[in-house]
Amino acid sequence: MTKKCYFTFPNTHQAIRAEKALAKENLEYKMVPVPRSISSSCGIALCCLPGD
């Protein structure tokens, strides 16, 4: 089982802002729905592997 890191945000504006910053640095990530086991206001999370 691969461990994953999820970054949650209070709103979609912050999620998109983080996505742009990661893309600018050429870091690997994926926008995903927030897993049910995690709470978030906007429902969007950035997912990446630890160490990326």
Neighbouring-strand partners of residue 45: 8, 32
Question: Which residues are within 8 A (CB) of 28 and not within 5 positions of it... i.e. 6 or more apart?
Answer: 48, 49, 52
Give the Cα separation of 42 and 52 in Å (integer): 24
Q: Model confidence at 52, in pLDDT bands (50, 70, 90)?
A: low
pTM summary value: 0.74
The arithmetic mean of pLDDT across residues 23-50, rounded, is 87
Mean pLDDT for 24-35 is 91
Predicted local distance difference test score (pLDDT) of residue 30: 93
CA 31 to chain CA mean position, Å? 6
